[in-house]
Chains A and B, each alone.
Chain A
Amino acid sequence: MTNDRSKGIPRTTPRQSATFSQDVNSDIRRAAATGIYDIRGGGAKRKLPTFDDLLFMGASISRYPLEGYREKCDTSVTIGGLHAENPIHLDIPITIAGMSFGALSGPAKEALGRGASAAGTSTTTGDGGMTPEERGHSSKLVYQYLPSRYGMNPDDLRKADAIEIVVGQGAKPGGGGMLLGQKISDRVAAMRNLPKGIDQRSACRHPDWTGPDDLEIKILELREITGWKVPIYVKVAGARPYYDVTLAVKAGADAVVLDGMQGGTAATQDVFIEHVGQPTLAIIRPAVQALQDLGMHRKVQLILSGGIRSGADVAKAMALGADAVAIGTAALIALGDNDPKWEAEYNELGTTAGAYDDWHEGRDPAGITTQDPELMKRFDPIEGGRRLKNYLKVMTLEAQTIARACGKNHLHNLEPEDLVALTMEAAAMAKIPLAGTDWYPGKPGTGF
């Protein structure tokens, strides 16, 4: 106060509230001005326990390492051998997650196909159906079977190398989708049998089945239609992983895709992204436990996604029992999404490189999450594909480096015993001993 100042009394420094932070206040002002909840793309931005809270111990006297670059460390994985005549063989255990055409441009889908194929892995369609760009450039393409059934047709189904029944997504367990009118071009509208320029809501439940008993019959129907040839995956959000994985396997899934709350989305309410679901680190052990209890671990493959960024993340997911991982956001960044070279344009949109998440508005400066022909021209699918391939190769090399250091000649041989946890939270969630101890919270027989 001026009076105090004039009297020479020291002032306290201006103090921001932890409860009413600038971020929170801006949310309140936005809500007050618009009357609608905030919709955005991307995954949970809050700080969560992650794979960064785990470390590998490496080799020692009791375990000896493999020679880098000389002794082989296999990275291949076969998915869907349980019921399907033609399981999917991948050279690397890093797949490209389902991202909708509509959310992404045709050339972006093409680049994902190019990069994945060059790296020896699969890519996945998404809400809105299969595009020729994507089928043509993907040596192995997984076809998503979603509640909306936009663009769903049996001809495309029979062109797929695997089918993924989507029950949920980590960013929004229990939620449907929303593609806002701005992104509904003629092509997107035609593929979805809807008028141009209107908001397209994707249902949150499948229209013709509910519950595990129905799912079993739905899987039977899909197998009959595709002649029992291709694997059928079931994708679930990280909600109740032990039960969801159990039910998916009992319904006859060949593989389960499990997506944690860091997992990206094209467009969902911010409140949903940040407050529903469980972190990726917390869902993997219950899922693996479910598979082990059924005697199905390594027979029904577990594909983990949600915030996977590096070879270290891949190695940690696999050490905890996953057979493979899937990446969405990281693949988009490899293609050029949120690149600082567009900073001036991000600023014009009121944001900054790294924070841009209004993908649903279709004005992506990088030309990836848009249907605007001018913006799309900025993105070269051949260059994008090459960048994605490089990134996938680096992740694989990183994971191999770690596996060799742990003395493993296959990424699948990584095991929980190779890990320690840095925090109590990570120790409890991943059931990995806290570094320097042989204990984790909840360890049987320890009384905690």
Chain B
Amino acid sequence: MQTIDLTETGLRETNKMLHAQAANTNQTVWTIENAKGAHAIACGLDAPIEVTVKGSTGYYCGGMNQQATINIHGSAGPGTGENIMSGKIVIEGDASQYLGATGHGGLIVVKGNASSRCGISMKGVNIVVQGNIGHMSAFMGQSGNLVVCGDAGDALGDSCYEARFFVRGKVKSLGADCEKKEMRPEHIAILTELLAEAGFDAKPEEFTRYGSARKLYNFDVDNAAAY
């Protein structure tokens, strides 16, 4: 196992070492100590390695991640896992705003709560939150799944496209063009798999599915008030 003290090594050298790992690296397990809320830790990784960050992280930890698994042993700052392509990010604490923004793939797991705009503009990422999520989550969500074991705040899924939202608790309000949907067997299957991958013990049947009413897909003057 490779251990880096972020305070001593510095952000640039730390990320450089992680970026230098090739697909067949045998240095597959890394620990970063003394994160102390630094920004852009372990962003832009592209190798099948596992990085554990000790402490809370600032903005954009794991940004644009490909292949790697990143464990954050603390809480995560704004834009964690933004534009994630593949791999996995697991946050032991809470996540700040814009979690997984525009993520194209991969999985993000939050053991605490996630703040506002969770999954904003999501484009294929899967996000599973054990607690609650804040307002305007999954705004303009295009594809992927957002699973919330707790409650969702105001305006869930506003102006969303084909992303799916599964909420076990209450939804304070739905955003424009977002509606409650029927839970079909294929959705139970997706949910079962995501809950298992996240390691959360919740019954898929207890969730409600939400998604796009598809009324804003092509401009219609009668829907102008919703724009």
Contacts and interface: CB of A to CB of B under 8 A. Distances in A.
Are A and B subunits of one complex?
Answer: yes
B79 A209 contact: yes
A181 B104 contact: no
A225 interface: yes
A87 B78 CA distance: 30
Query: How many interface residues does chain A have, given as a range?
Result: 20 to 34
Given A148-B121, A193-B142, A207-B120, A224 B15 contact: yes
A218 B63 CA distance: 10
B101 A207 contact: yes
Interface residues of B, number: 43
Contact of A149 (B11, B40, B121, B224): B121
Contacts of A82: none
Contacts of A225: 43-44, 63-64
Contact of B39 (A35, A192, A198, A221): A221
Dominant SS among interface residues on chain B = loop
Contacts of B33: none
Contact of A220 (B39, B78, B104): B39
B12 A217 contact: no
A231 B60 CA distance: 20
Contact of B79 (A153, A193, A199, A208): A208
A225 to B, nearest CB: 3
Contacts of A195: 161-162, 217
Interface string A149-181: 100111001000000000000000000000011
Nearest to A216: B39
A203 B140 contact: yes
A329 to B, nearest CB: 25
A217 B39 contact: yes
Interface string A175-216: 000001100000000001111011101010001110000100
B219 A36 contact: yes
Contacts of A221: 39-40, 43, 59-60, 63
Interface hub of B19, B161, B162 (most chain A Cβ within 10 A): B161
Dominant SS among interface residues on chain A = loop
A181 B98 CA distance: 28
A192 B162 CA distance: 12
A342 interface: no
Contacts of B126: none
B12 A201 contact: no
A167 B226 CA distance: 25
B221 A36 contact: yes
B19 A217 contact: no
Contact of B98 (A34, A153, A157, A208): A208
Interface in A9-67: 34-36
A192 B142 CA distance: 9
B59 A217 contact: yes
Interface string B78-102: 1100110100000000000010011
Given A195-B162, A221-B63, A227 B16 contact: yes
B39 A157 contact: no
A435 B212 CA distance: 61
B151 to A, nearest CB: 22
Contact of A224 (B43, B124, B219): B43
Interface of B: 11-12, 15-16, 19, 39-40, 43-44, 46, 58-60, 63-64, 66, 78-79, 82-83, 85, 98, 101-102, 104, 117, 120-121, 123-124, 139-140, 142-143, 159, 161-162, 216-219, 221, 224
Interface of A: 34-36, 148-149, 152-154, 157, 180-181, 192-195, 197-199, 201, 203, 207-209, 214, 217-218, 220-221, 224-228
